[in-house]
């Protein structure tokens, strides 16, 4: 048998399982007309002073191989939460974006947050630097057989990565 919804939309939630008994008129699914969906990222509290730099996000939904970008889905970053719950130490970032095939409400995703672009700079892991008495060096592969030790000045350190490294 075919079941049709009286409205066009998206199935938000199924209320019955395969094989369940239902009576005529019983709700079997929740259908929404909204063509928008929400991407939610819970960020550890230790990054609270860096959240203003976050501009967009790239994400891969659970069970999907396609990479989505909030900008390509007309994503709009919403104001982030102003408090932290006592049960966890996370700050919530949200984007409202267009619904698209392959994305399901309530599913999990691996999210990569993007900050402002810094030109004329590179970012490298702290482990790639040599610290000699407070002077930092990187090793640059100039040819296939020549490696040059180059002094560098870290502009900003974020956890285990130096951002905007001046070489």
- What SS3 class is residue 153? strand
Average pLDDT over residues 133-156: 81
Average pLDDT over residues 119-130: 75
Local confidence band at 159 (pLDDT 50, 70, 90 cut-offs): low
User: Which is more confident, 74 or 118?
Assistant: 74
Which residue is listed with tokens 């057989």? 145
Task: Please choose, from the candidates 128, 127, 134, 133, the residue with its C-alpha nearest in 3D space to the C-alpha of residue 149.
Answer: 128
Cβ atoms within 10 A of the Cβ of 70, count?
A: 22
- Is the CB of residue 113 less than 8 Å from the CB of residue 93? yes
Burial of 121 (C-beta count, 10 Å sphere; 0-12/13-18/19+): middle
The Cα–Cα gap between 55 and 116 comes to 7
pTM for this predicted structure: 0.57
């Amino acid at each position: 048998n075919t079941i049709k919804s009286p409205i066009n939309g998206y199935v938000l939630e199924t209320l019955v399982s395969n094989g369940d008994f239902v009576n005529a008129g019983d709700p079997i699914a929740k259908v929404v007309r909204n063509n928008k969906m929400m991407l939610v990222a819970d960020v550890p509290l230790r990054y609270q002073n860096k959240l203003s730099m976050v501009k967009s996000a790239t994400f891969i939904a659970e069970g999907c191989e396609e990479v989505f970008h909030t900008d390509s889905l007309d994503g709009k970053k919403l104001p982030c939460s102003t408090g932290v719950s006592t049960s966890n130490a996370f700050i919530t970032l949200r984007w409202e974006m267009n619904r698209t095939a392959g994305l399901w409400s309530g599913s999990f995703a691996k999210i990569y947050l993007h900050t402002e672009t810094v030109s004329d700079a590179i970012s490298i892991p702290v482990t790639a630097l040599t610290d000699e008495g407070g002077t930092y060096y990187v090793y640059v592969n100039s040819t296939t057989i020549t490696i040059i030790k180059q002094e560098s000045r870290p502009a900003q350190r974020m956890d285990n990565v130096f951002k905007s490294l001046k070489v």
